[in-house]
Structure 1
């Protein structure tokens, strides 16, 4: 199975702007396979592995106003994870990330160091990358989040995120939904600790 990654060339160019993610829908629809390179710092979401056909469904250019139906897979167990598995009655945050993105790694560290303030928030790290790359992400960059009941790393095998939730321009991309499942806020790239905690918990 082939996993699609962009080159490491952008690494040095995104220190101040977050990890880039080029939105080129035409390319995504025409190129569903491409040889993997050695790594992926700034992955183009549309190029992630999982599109089996030549024609991709339309991509979500605006953030979904409410949590749509989806099917991701828990990285550690491979068990499917759907909208019905989200714990009710609290804010739910999806973090679309690239495990090799430095800004994504920094955000994981921020969340880990402030976990006590986030115990009542569902936090789902979602990526279309090779699960092997994702498997040690929290252990490496957010140790305090490992095995927490409200935190999960999810593999988006079928590109549900970019088709149903949103195609961002930068990683990490955060989407905060309220207890009613409605979008409260979303943003891309790195933010301050206070900004993140305030939006996650308000």
Structure 2
């Protein structure tokens, strides 16, 4: 009887964890820095898509984006699209990039998005800052990265 209860508990737990993150790119609607609507239909389908949800006031996010800034040459030569998704307004987000990741602003494969009402965070079940989501060309979830130390981990997946 104890084994059956343990099996049920483990199965229930794995279902809860399996539901944590959408397995394919969910429907969402946020804005870009030009205050235009950006949805899942606007996501590039000719390469990997790497969303990084961050808050410009977060110390861990500052460290993560400093790391990305240091590796800008690697990022420039890799086939993927980077979508930093800010939990703040355009002014705070722009200042953040100027201070912590200015080299990213010059990359063609970067598009900064804004989620100042947390709709993206709710849809993607973001649990902390920074949280990154790697999707393949078919918009299927490859991996989720939590924390600043994992920010470059996606490079191993797409090479």
Runs of 5+ consecutive residues of structure 2 not aligned to the other structure? 1-18
Q: Cα–Cα, structure 1 residues 194 and 73, in superposed 2: closer, same or farther, change >3 Å?
A: closer
Q: Quick one: structure 1 residues 88 and 110, their matched pair in 2 at CA, closer, same or farther if it must change by over 3 Å?
A: same
**Shift in alpha-carbon separation, 1:70–1:192, aligned structure 2, 3 A:** closer
Q: Does 1:82 align with 2:39?
A: yes
- Which is helix-richer, 1 or 2? 2
Q: Is 1:110 paired with 2:110?
A: no
Give aligned pairs, total: 139
Query: Does the CA contact (< 8 Å) of 1:70 and 1:83 recur in 2?
Result: yes
Query: How far off is 1:112 after superposition?
Result: 1.9
CA distance in 2: counterparts of 1:93 and 1:192, whole angstroms: 13
What is the CA distance between 1:161 and its match in structure 2?
1.4
SS of residue matched to 1:122? strand
Structure 1 pair 100–185 and aligned structure 2 pair: CA distance change class (3 A): same
The CA distance in 2 between the partners of 1:157 and 1:101, in whole Å, is 15
Deviations 1:52-86 (A, max 9, x none): xxxxxxxxx611111112112112x2122122222
User: In terms of Rg, which structure is larger?
Assistant: 2
TM-score with structure 1 setting the length: 0.62
2-side partners of 1:142 and 1:175: how far apart?
19
On the 8 A contact 1:73/1:157 being kept in 2, the answer is no
1:88 counterpart SS class: coil
| One of 140, 144, 149 as aligned partner of 1:182 | 140
Rounded Cα–Cα distance in structure 1 between residues aligned with 2:43 and 2:108: 11
Matches of 1:99 and 1:194 in 2, distance apart?
A: 18
**Structure 1 unaligned runs (5+)?**
1-60
| Alignment root-mean-square deviation, CA | 2.0
Q: 1:178 to 1:140 in 2, by over 3 A?
A: same
Does the 8 Å CA contact 1:97/1:126 hold for their aligned counterparts? yes
How far apart are 1:189 and its partner, in Å?
1.1
3-state SS of paired residue (1:152): coil
TM-score (norm 2): 0.77
